Amino acid sequence: MTSPILQTDVYTDFQGLSGLRARAKDNSEETLREVAGQFEALFIQMMLKSMRDANLGEGLMDSDHTKTYQSMFDKQISIDLSKRQGLGLTEMLVQQLGRSTDIEPGNSGVAPPVSPTFQALAASTERVSPLGRIAEKSVSAEMADWEPDSPESFLKELWPHAQRTARELGTKPEVLLAQAALETGWGKHMIRGIDGRNSFNLFSIKADASWQGERAVTDTVEFRDGLMRKERATFRAYPSLADSFADYAEFLKANPRYRDALKAGSDLPAFAQALSEAGYATDPDYSSKINTIMNSERLQEAVSGIKEAHTEPLS
C-alpha cells in the first residue's frame, strides 16, 4: 500500500508549508517529524546546489532551460531523499527537539507550551522552502540587491565598512573606496552570477580551490601579454557588503605577496602600487587608475561631506 502524498511532499506547494507552520503550535510528534524532514530536505538541496556550483564549467548542452529543469529536479529529489532514509538529520532533530518540548507519543492531554526552538525550525521551512523561496519580510534590502544611484551614495554606503577595514589594514578608507569604485564602476557593475544574483564582491576576488563559500561565474576582462581579453572566471560571492570588506582584509593579510602593501600604511599611492606589483590585477595601469579615482574631486568632496556629517572625527 502506497503512502498518501503529504501537503509538503511537492516542493511547489507553499500552502502546505504555511499549514505546517500553523500545525507546529500543536507540538505533536507527527508535526515535529514533518518539520524536521523539511529542514533536512533544505539541507540536502543546499548540498546539491553547492556541488552544482563547484563544477569546472558549462557543458556543451547546458542552457538556461536545462539549468531551470535541473534546479527543479534537485528541489524535488531533496524532498524525496529526506522522506526515505535521508541523512539521518530528521531523527536527530526529532530526538533533540522532542526532549526540549516533552513530546510523548500518543499523549492526548493538554500540550505543553510550544518550544521556541521548535517554532524557529518550523518558521525556517516557510522562510526558505526547498524551492529556495525566501519570504520578502525576512530579506533586507542589501541581501536582496544593491545598486547605488550615484557615486555619492556609493561612497556613503561603503564608508563605515571602508573605515573599519582600513583600520584593520593600517591604511586609510579612501584608497579602499577608490579600489572598490574601480572594480565595480561605482557599484553599477557588480559581479553577478548566472542567475542574476548580486555577489556583493566589491574587490573582484576570485574563488580558487580554497574558497568554501558561494561562487559567481561571469565574464571578465584580463590583460594577457599586453592584450585585453574577455575570459570566463569564478568569483567569490558574499551575503553582504560587510562580508566583502571583511574577506578583502583577510585575503590581503593571508597572502605574503601583499606584505609590502600592508607596510605602506598611510602612503596610499604606495599601497596601490604594491597591490599592482604583487599581481592583484592584470591591468598594467591598475595603481594609476586607483590613484586617479582617489584624487578625483568627486571622491574628495563626497568623503569630506561624510566626515562633516559625523560629530566625531572618523579618521
What is the full DSSP assignment across 3-68? PPPPGGGSTT-HHHHHHHHHHGGG--HHHHHHHHHHHHHHHHHHHHHHHHHTSSS--TT--HHHHH
Query: Does some domain include residue 144?
Result: no
For residue 298, is pLDDT > 50? yes
Q: Quick one: 213 and 125 in the same domain? A: no
Instruction: Give the pLDDT of residue 135.
Output: 33
What cell was used for 236? 567569490
Instruction: Give the pLDDT of residue 101.
Output: 47
In angstroms, what CA-CA distances link 294 with 176, 187, 218, 278, 284? 9, 15, 27, 20, 18
Confidence of residue 133 (pLDDT cuts 50, 70, 90): very low
In tens, the pLDDT along 300-311 reads: 999 999 988 865
Q: Quick one: 162 and 241 in the same domain? A: yes
Q: Quick one: 51 and 97 in the same domain? A: yes
Query: Does some domain include residue 286?
Result: yes
Distance, in Å, from the CA atom of 188 to the CA atom of 101, rounded to the nearest integer, reads 50
For residue 250, is pLDDT > 90? yes
Query: Does some domain include residue 12?
Result: yes
Q: For residue 55, with 0-12 CB atoms within 10 Å meaning exposed, 13-18 middle and 19 or more buried, which class applies?
A: exposed
**Cα 107 → chain centroid:** 43
Last residue in a domain, options 86, 116, 139: 139
Query: Does some domain include residue 295?
Result: yes
Instruction: Give the pLDDT of residue 106.
Output: 43
Confidence of residue 214 (pLDDT cuts 50, 70, 90): very high
Q: For residue 245, with 0-12 CB atoms within 10 Å meaning exposed, 13-18 middle and 19 or more buried, which class applies?
A: buried
Q: Which residues are catalytic?
A: 222, 247
In angstroms, what CA-CA distances link 313 with 48, 89, 205, 241, 245? 48, 51, 31, 23, 21
What's the number of domains the chain is made of? Answer: 2
Q: Quick one: 11 and 134 in the same domain? A: yes
Rg (CA), the chain: 25
Instruction: Give the pLDDT of residue 139.
Output: 36
Residue count of the chain, please give it. Answer: 315
Instruction: Give the pLDDT of residue 47.
Output: 73
Q: Quick one: 61 and 126 in the same domain? A: yes
For residue 22, is pLDDT > 70? no
Sequence-separated (6 or more) residues with CB below 8 Å from residue 145 = 198
Is the model more confident about 151 or about 116? 151
List the end-to-end C-alpha distance of the chain, in Å, as a whole number: 72
Residue in 217, 176, 177 with CA at minimum distance from that of residue 194: 217
Q: Quick one: 262 and 294 in the same domain? A: yes
What cell was used for 185? 564602476
Q: Could you tell me which residues are beta bridge partners of residue 215? A: 236
Do residues 180 and 205 lie in contact, with contact meaning Cβ atoms separated by under 8 Å? no
In tens, the pLDDT along 134-171 reads: 333 333 444 468 889 999 999 999 999 999 999 999 99
Is the model more confident about 83 or about 171? 171
Query: Does some domain include residue 145?
Result: no
Residue in 202, 197, 178, 190 with CA at minimum distance from that of residue 147: 190
Query: Does some domain include residue 184?
Result: yes
Q: Quick one: 113 and 199 in the same domain? A: no
Q: For residue 298, with 0-12 CB atoms within 10 Å meaning exposed, 13-18 middle and 19 or more buried, which class applies?
A: middle
Query: Does some domain include residue 27?
Result: yes
Query: Does some domain include residue 269?
Result: yes
Q: Which domain holds residue 111?
A: 7-139
Q: Quick one: 117 and 172 in the same domain? A: no
Confidence of residue 219 (pLDDT cuts 50, 70, 90): confident
- Mean residue pLDDT of the chain comes to 75
**The CATH number of the domain where 300 resides is what?**
1.10.530.10
